[in-house]
Structures are given as structure tokens and as C-alpha cells.
Structure 1
Amino acid sequence: MTDGPAYDLVVRGGSVVDGSGAEPRRADVAVSGGTVAAVGDLRDAAAAVELDATGTYVLPGFIDAHSHADALLADPRVQEAYLCQGVTTLVLGQDGLGFAPTDAAAAGYVSRYFAAVDGPAPAGFAGGGTVDVLLRSYDGAGALNAALLVPAGSVRYAVVGPAARPATATEVDRMAGLVADGLVEGAVGVSTGLDYVPGVFADASELAAVCAPAAAVGGVYVSHLRGYSAARIEHSLAEAAQIGRASGVAVHVSHLHGRAAVVEPALERMVREVEHGVSFDSYPYLRGSSILAMLLLPPDLQQGGLEATLDRLADPTVRHRLRSEVLPANGYVPSIRLSFLRAPELAWAEGMGLEQAARAAASDLTDFVCDALVACELAVGCVFENGPDRTEEDLRQLLRSPLHLASSDAIFLGSAPHPRGWGSFARLLARHVGGLGDWTWGAAAWHLSGHAAERFQLGRRGRVEPGAVADLAVLDPAAVTDRATYESPREPATGVRHVLVAGVPVVEHGRLTVARPGRGIRRSQRLDR
């Protein structure tokens, strides 16, 4: 029997990587009341539960800065995918398209247009809902925490509808009011998806006005840029900086990729121009994943809403334009692999290349694309090469930037999804820490946790120190690795021994428990801890 203090739980025998950037140091970690109570030599401490961490590193639970698990947070397969990598918190409401705040029209639109990314609306949200209600629905839904961004595209649809025009001054005021309400209810910022409909129809001045409420509370503007191609990326980053300057908001760029020689100077300009800070996230793969409509359909074909788009795709004149002008000039086509098709009669095409599937259907490419989009009501997902001009070295150089946060951009739908949801964080550790040495372990804990907790105001997360929320990942640095591949994308990672969320074990000895301590996280001004 020990004579020292008594705690709820002690993690013994590991080395702590505390999330500040400091390198591993030998220490035990004690937890009481859901927070870290002590870090150090605790050999004399007593605890109701003890976890053996011999030979492991104890890190703050990882934070996915960009996830699409909005409607799937409680899905056991999603829980497994994340927890087996040591991820404990997700930032949702990405790409300007999410489920709160929405009315029935906006929720219905997102549920259809973005069905291949986010899936159907969460239970109770078919008619729309508020940020507060959605965050409360995440409390106790599973083991994972979730923070929310206010999706500006959803807000635009609720106010402006599908119209392809600038918003009026009155409409901008209404949108800003909805954003402000969402922030009061705990959202951590505002997101846009400027390659998606309806975000593609919003200009920089509209977006700056919509982001102003976030600036007022220290929130962040999170943007899927208006194009990531080599020809567009500098302009897209400059537009994000313009919005940051005009609104006074901090700017965060989603899933940034490109040639480092072009991107890094543009980021340096942004840092000089945006007063309240610049950051970006990325995932460690050269291929991306999205909806087929975004990659292949020009915005003018998507004006007026889903029904108008579907009607156009059945028009022979539109098909002639796609066949003769649009698709031959689209560089993505050869690399596209179908990941999800909502129509059951087309499920056979999941996992096939787009051109391969067209041949298998005895159809020409244009007719197959249009017929599939109509049959699925645009709910077609795909995996594709992000661009031939970017390399593994570009990816590695951007990872090393002090502006970087880790993300997965995970999409969990379909039989042939991108492996990034099952592998991003484990791959960063196995390949970019253990293999290539792009980060030290101290730097990794900052990129995978500490930086995101700070950027998104997630309270006392992202650290292993007294008073911090006890979201912890205990892993074997020599064994942690990703197993998901493009051929077998749903393989969970290995090497994570224990995971705690708010001090509750959700993974013990590599096995998931049945505990459900996850919660909807409010922006830190509203957190008690």
C-alpha cells in the first residue's frame, strides 16, 4: 500500500510528450476528475485504475483539424478508425457545408448535395437545427469529442437559396446574424468551401462581412480555397488573406497542398498581411477525395439548385458541351476512382476508375458521368490525384512549416474510400517521425494536438500538464503505423496501447472499451476547463 496521494487513474512507466514542443521525458501521469492532476515521479501514488505505459510515449489526444464525420460521430467504425490512431477530437462543419445552423431547405440541400461526403443529416436535423442542439447531440454519443465550425455555404443557402448572385446587403446582415448566433452557442469559427455550391457564388466582400462576428470573439476563418491548382493557388491564398484583413479574423487554410516553392512564399505574404494569424492543415497523401460534381461540372451548370442541375445533365446540349469542351480539358479525369455511388444499382462501380466504369457500362464517358450523377442525385464520391505538379517532397516541406496542423479530411462513405480516415495520424507518426525524421516526437505532438487546441480554442486540451483535460494517447513509438491502403482502405492503425478521453479509458491494451465520454466542445470561453 502506498502512502502518497490517491488519484482516479495513473498511467505508469511511460515517457511524456507534453504537446508544447518539448521532447519526451520519463514521467507518470495522474488523472482525477477528468483532468491531469500530476505529471512526474508518482511511484508512491495510489489510484483506482493503473495503466501500464512501459516502453510507450504518453501524448495529448490528437485533434483532427478537418473531418467529415458530422453525421457519423457515433458510428463504431468511425470510432475505431480514429481511436486506433490516438485521435480524440474532431473539428466538424467543414468546407462551408454542414448541418447547423440550418433551416429545412438548407439541411435538405446539404443532405443531398454533400451526401457523398458528410452523409445524411444527423437524427433530428432533417428540418434544420442550431449549433447548440447539434453540439448537445454529440455529448455521450461515443468516445470522440467534436468541435463545430459555422458552415457559411449552409448559411448562404438558408438566406439566399441556390441563387448564383451576390448577396444583398440585407441578406449579408442576416447571414452574419446566423454566424453570430452559432458562435454564441459555441462554434469555434466559420468555414467556407469556395469550390462547392453555393460557396462558389460568394465574393470576398460578402465573406469578410460574414466572418466579422468570428473576429469579434477571436474565432477563426477556415477555408477550402477557391481552387488549389498550380494556376490558382497564389490567387486563392491571396483571397483568403484579403478576407482576413477585411474582417480582422485569423485565417486557416483547409487541406493545403501544392508546390512548396509556390505555396510557401504565398503563406509568408499572408503572415505579413493577416494580423491575427495564419495556419493550415494537411494530410500525408498525394491523392485527394471529394464529390464528382465539384471536379467535373462548371459552376454555371450547378446554378439554381439540385433539381435544375439534374435537369441540365439530361439535356443533350449540355452533354455535348461536356463531351466536346469540359471533360477533354479536365486533368482529373484519368486519375478518378469512384468511391461512393448512392444509387444501389451503381454500387458495382465503386472502386473502379471512372473511365473503366464507363467502359464496363458500355457507355461513353460523358453519358456515364451524367447518368450516374442523375441516378445518384449528385451523390457520387471519388478519389483522385491532387495534381501532377506536386511531389512527396512538397508534401514533406509543407508538413515542416510552423503554420501546419494535422488533419485527415476523412470521408467514411462507400466501399472504396480514401484511406486517410484510417491512416493519416498513424502515417504521420510512422513515416514522418519514425521513418523520414521530418518531425521530432516533440514537434509531432505540437502539430497533431497542441497547435490545433490553441488555434481552435478548445480549452485546456493539447497538453499533458496539471489542469489539462485528460485526453491522452499512449502509444509504442516503434510499433505505431498505418495499415490502410488505397486497395484496402478500412484497415485500422496499430501501435496505440491506451486512449483516454476526459480521463476515461476508451482504448485499453489496444482494444476499444464501451465507454462514451465524448462531448460537443464549445469554444473555450464557454468551457469550465
Structure 2
Amino acid sequence: MDVLIKNGIVVDGSGNQPFIADVAIERDIICGIGHFEKSEARRVIDAAGKMVTPGFIDGHTHAELTLLKNRQCPNEVYQGISTIVTGQCGLGFAPIKNDQFEDSIKINSGIFGDCRHYLKHWNSFQEFLNQLDGAAINAAANVSHNAIRQMALGFENKPLKGEALQIAKEALDQAMKEGALGMSVGLSYYPGGYSDTNELIELCKIVKENDGLFCTHLRLNNNQIPLSPVEEMVQVVKKTGVRLNMLHYRTGGYEDISTLFQPFKELEERGADIHYEYYPYLVGAGLVLALVPDWAQEGGYSIIMERLQSAELRDKLLKDMKERHQYFFAKGQTAMINITKDMYAKEIGKSISEIAEEHGESFSEAVIRLLIENELQVGFIGIENQSEELKSKLYEDQYQLFMDPRYTMGSDTIPEGVICHPRGFGSFPRTICQMRERSVAPEYIIQKLTSVPAQLYHLKDRGLIDVGKKADVCILDFDKVRDTATFLDTRRQPEGIESLLVNGLPVMLNGSLTGILSGRALKKE
């Protein structure tokens, strides 16, 4: 055997109770679980007193381009994450036409950064997936709605119909056959937000035919369509039978947690396969361009920049941005700038409200100026300003969500930027710590972070410590696991996660990265 992990407390990801055993690995496969006193191995890891679990699976990341320029993936490895899913929230870059590559990167640079100089161009989903191979972690991907729309209609502000819809359906089907796990939509981003419900239904018929997962970032509730954003998803599932995963779907205020599930009750009673996801923080992060109205984002990078700089359009732009603001920020809320074109910019770490006050301008005027000066490469992180009473209620809700078998936890990590949201370094240890402090059984916690997302995304041979499974193995000191990243100090290594093997090779030992890049691009099986 190549690796023998001895005397660990094995929590195998199945939900079964922990047991003390050795785990033997040959090449990239777990070849034995038991006690191997006389066996020899090329590498022996003493895990006495430590927990041995499957590598964690993060089903919601925006890490694909960062992975292509930093293949050691420290933020994931430090958390014990061995596999990520990318292409969420409708944001993604495959398949793609040559003449759309630069525009797509620039428009989304507030989340992904502008890393064009690091990238080899690709066209097909398969070509993109191949480039994810050879990082420290495994990577799988959804095909994004935005990419599919761009293949058919570029950045036009209208729903897919007729020939354009047929082109999109063929592109989606091809991507699914090339290994996409499913399709994601981000209906508050564009061009995906230019869709109508019928477009989603037609595309989800293709996802259903390929037994894929439909992952949903909801539309803004701004009367763009006759239905509410959640009712739209109900209709899509009702018409297609597609498996649904509601991304970052949770309470945000004093509403009762049952209101999340009420719209789907009838579908679930009829056997619909519906799943939900959350991340363990109270605010998120995103694209500053998203604060600009839909009409101003049509047509691609150059036209967007022209509109932002247009004196004639400025009054309309400010009026519509003020209206749009309420869908992103509650009264009194603001956000901190974390990504700009200049990595040394003084705006990084300041709130948009502070920046506006410094320049004697309104919030929306500050947003427009920042977008122009940074050529759209501006990202934000939310700022927690909830009362202690509301925070307590929301964290109690998150506990209830974690205990619900329909839920997974996905970090929604955006690892780009000098400052990143602390969820990028803290989501998994934070979840373990929060649930441990509530006396949730370790086997349940580990199951929710491993085999449950593996089953949801059809990741074969991942998420379990079992003979014949892939040797993605995490070694941790369960009682010491906790996140240390904060909103002020975001890139901090968590405590208690000690070692991580990916496909049988150590990418982290005793808390230190090894530089080994044994991760693989994964396809839906």
C-alpha cells in the first residue's frame, strides 16, 4: 500500500457512528479499512486521537478562474475541502465563442477579477473542464445560463425564442454530455436576467433529459415577470420535473422559517426532488455592476461603459439605481469594496457609503464612478448591521436548516480580491464549530459536508470513507476545529484541520500546503 492512516477515529460520511480503525490507500483508492499491524506502507500517518473523514465537498463556489491561476487553492485546502463545484449563480465561461471571451471576463471581473493574461482560451465545455484538471483539489462544474445565452444571443435584452432558443438548447445538451453536473441560473445577473419563464422551462427540459441538477439564484422581485421569483421556480419544476437546488435560500429577517418551504409543499408532496442550500454567514458578496439596472447592462462591455459615462443617461441611471438598491440592501445597509482593478486602491476595505461621503456624492454616484474608474472590476462584501436579537434568530434558523435533510451547506466562495468574504476561508470549519457547540452528532455533521453533496451532484466514488472509493481524506482535531477568518482579517487559516489527501496524495500535512497538485476535473457520472 502507498498510505496507511493509523488509529484514527473514522467518521465515514455515511451517517454511521464513529469507529477506530486504520485506513489503507493504494494509488488513489481506499483499499482497506481495519487494523493493519504488520502491513507496510510508503507513508504512515499517525491519526491517533484525530478524526478521519472524507474530504469535504463544497457545492457552491465561484473559484474556477482563481483555480486556473493559483492551483494550490489554499482557501479550500485549509478547510479540508477536496472537491468544489463551480459555475453557480448563472456565472460561468463555457461554452464560449472567441469574440465573447474578453467581454465575458470584463463584465464579470467584479467577482472573478480580470485574469485574462493567465488563461488559455477555450470554446467547448469539455475544453474548459480539461483546464480544471491538475489543481490541489478536484473540480466539477455546472454549465451556466449566462454562457448558454451568450452562445445563442450574445448580450441582448430579450428572452430566447425560435432559432436562438434552439441554439441554446443544443449548446446546453452538448455541455451536459461533456460532463456538466447541471445548469445554474443567476436571474439577478445578465444576460441571464433577460430570460422569461418559458425559456427556463425549455432549457430545464434538456437538464432533465440528462438527469442534471437545476441550481437557482432567484430573480429580483421587481415585477419583471407575472410570477414571484419563487413561484417561477415552482412552475419550472412542475412543467419539467427537473431536480431543483435553491442556492443560498434562507431567512433574512424575522419571517418564519416555514415560509421558505411553503411554495414547494405541493410539489414535494407529489414527489418532486427539491433541495436547498445556505452558507453560515448573514451577509454575502457580489458584483457591484449588479447594482446597475438591466437596460444599462445590455450589449457588452463597451456599450455598458458608454452608458455609465453618458451625461444624457445619467439622471435616468441614477433614478433606476435608487429603485434597484432596495433589492440588494436593507434600509441602513451598505457594503465594503473588496475588488478593484488596482490591488493597492485606497477604496479597498472602505464602505461605499464612506467613499461617497469622502467624494461628496450619492451612493449611486459613487457606484458609477467606481465602475468607470475600474473598468467594471469592482466587487463588494456585505456589512453585518443586524441587531443582536436578529442575529440570534438568523443563526437559530441556520441551525434548523442544517438539520433539515433537504439542505446542504455551500460556501458561495469568491476567492478573488485582496480582501475576500471570510466564507472563502471559514465556511466549513465555522459550520463544524457552530454545530458542535449545539451538540449535533459528529457523524451527522460530516455526512452533511461529504456524502450528501456528493449524492446531490452525482459525484461518483466521492464523499465516503469506504473500500473502493476515491481516497479523498481529511484528518482533523474535531474539538479544536473553528474558523478564524473575520470581515477585517479575511484570509486566515482555520484551526483544527490538520491534513488533507486528494486522490491518495497529501496536499496538506500538519497544516502546511505540500505543493502537490493531485486534483482532477470531475464529470457527472
Scaled by the length of structure 1, the TM-score of the pair is: 0.90
Equivalent residue in structure 1 for 2:284, among 280, 283, 288: 288
Q: Equivalent residue of 2:345, what SS?
A: helix
Residues 102-501 of structure 1 mapped to structure 2, 5 A cutoff: 102-120=96-114, 127-140=121-134, 142-227=135-220, 235-258=228-251, 259=255, 260-272=257-269, 275=272, 277-294=273-290, 296-316=291-311, 318-323=313-318, 326-327=321-322, 330-331=325-326, 332=329, 334-344=332-342, 347-384=345-382, 391-432=394-435, 434-437=436-439, 439-501=440-502
Q: Tell me how far apart the structure 1 counterparts of residues 229 and 404 of structure 2 sit (CA, whole Å).
A: 19
Report what 1:48 is aligned to.
42
The offset of 1:454, in angstroms, is: 0.8
Report the RMSD for the aligned CA atoms in angstroms. 2.5
Q: Give the letter for the 1:255 counterpart.
A: H
Q: Give the letter for the 1:496 counterpart.
A: I
Contact kept in structure 2, 1:152 and 1:191, CA below 8 Å: yes
Contact kept in structure 2, 1:244 and 1:274, CA below 8 Å: no
The offset of 1:395, in angstroms, is: 2.2
Q: Deviations over 1:389-442 (max 9, x none)?
A: 87222222222211111211111222222110000001001122x2123x3211
Q: Deviations over 1:268-287 (max 9, x none)?
A: 34423563x11122110001
Are the structure 2 counterparts of residues 482 and 116 from structure 1 closer, same or farther at C-alpha, using a change threshold of 3 Å? Answer: same
Q: Tell me how far apart the structure 2 counterparts of residues 311 and 285 of structure 1 sit (CA, whole Å).
A: 36
The offset of 1:288, in angstroms, is: 0.7
The offset of 1:87, in angstroms, is: 0.2
Report what 1:516 is aligned to.
517
What are the ranges of 5 or more consecutive residues in structure 1 without an aligned counterpart?
Answer: 1-6, 525-529
Q: Deviations over 1:252-279 (max 9, x none)?
A: 111222242311323434423563x111
The offset of 1:98, in angstroms, is: 1.0
How many residues get paired?
511
Q: Tell me how far apart the structure 2 counterparts of residues 36 and 345 of structure 1 sit (CA, whole Å).
A: 43
Are the structure 2 counterparts of residues 345 and 386 from structure 1 closer, same or farther at C-alpha, using a change threshold of 3 Å? Answer: closer
Q: Equivalent residue of 1:22, what SS?
A: coil
Q: Tell me how far apart the structure 2 counterparts of residues 517 and 206 of structure 1 sit (CA, whole Å).
A: 39
Contact kept in structure 1, 2:293 and 2:317, CA below 8 Å: no
Q: Give the letter for the 2:358 counterpart.
A: A
Bigger shift: residues 335-344 or 180-189: 335-344
Q: Tell me how far apart the structure 1 counterparts of residues 270 and 156 of structure 2 sit (CA, whole Å).
A: 32
Are the structure 2 counterparts of residues 196 and 163 from structure 1 closer, same or farther at C-alpha, using a change threshold of 3 Å? Answer: same
The offset of 1:512, in angstroms, is: 1.2
Bigger shift: residues 148-157 or 76-85: 76-85
The offset of 1:76, in angstroms, is: 4.7
Q: Equivalent residue of 1:370, what SS?
A: helix
The offset of 1:361, in angstroms, is: 2.7
The offset of 1:456, in angstroms, is: 0.9
Q: Tell me how far apart the structure 1 counterparts of residues 520 and 179 of structure 2 sit (CA, whole Å).
A: 12
Are the structure 2 counterparts of residues 274 and 353 from structure 1 closer, same or farther at C-alpha, using a change threshold of 3 Å? Answer: farther
Bigger shift: residues 337-346 or 249-258: 337-346
Q: Equivalent residue of 2:455, what SS?
A: helix
Q: Tell me how far apart the structure 2 counterparts of residues 198 and 386 of structure 1 sit (CA, whole Å).
A: 29
Contact kept in structure 1, 2:337 and 2:352, CA below 8 Å: no
Are the structure 2 counterparts of residues 169 and 330 from structure 1 closer, same or farther at C-alpha, using a change threshold of 3 Å? Answer: same
Q: Equivalent residue of 2:109, what SS?
A: coil
Contact kept in structure 2, 1:351 and 1:415, CA below 8 Å: no
Report what 1:507 is aligned to.
508
Q: Tell me how far apart the structure 1 counterparts of residues 246 and 271 of structure 2 sit (CA, whole Å).
A: 13
What are the ranges of 5 or more consecutive residues in structure 2 without an aligned counterpart?
Answer: none
The offset of 1:227, in angstroms, is: 3.5
Q: Tell me how far apart the structure 1 counterparts of residues 384 and 194 of structure 2 sit (CA, whole Å).
A: 23
The offset of 1:300, in angstroms, is: 2.6
The offset of 1:41, in angstroms, is: 2.6
Contact kept in structure 2, 1:241 and 1:251, CA below 8 Å: no
The offset of 1:24, in angstroms, is: 1.5
Q: Tell me how far apart the structure 2 counterparts of residues 228 and 461 of structure 1 sit (CA, whole Å).
A: 37
Q: Deviations over 1:68-90 (max 9, x none)?
A: 11111155586221111100111
Report what 2:28 is aligned to.
34
The offset of 1:245, in angstroms, is: 2.9
Are the structure 2 counterparts of residues 322 and 121 from structure 1 closer, same or farther at C-alpha, using a change threshold of 3 Å? Answer: same
Q: Equivalent residue of 1:410, what SS?
A: coil
Q: Tell me how far apart the structure 2 counterparts of residues 317 and 386 of structure 1 sit (CA, whole Å).
A: 36
The offset of 1:378, in angstroms, is: 2.3
Q: Equivalent residue of 1:374, what SS?
A: helix
Q: Tell me how far apart the structure 2 counterparts of residues 61 and 224 of structure 1 sit (CA, whole Å).
A: 26
Scaled by the length of structure 2, the TM-score of the pair is: 0.91
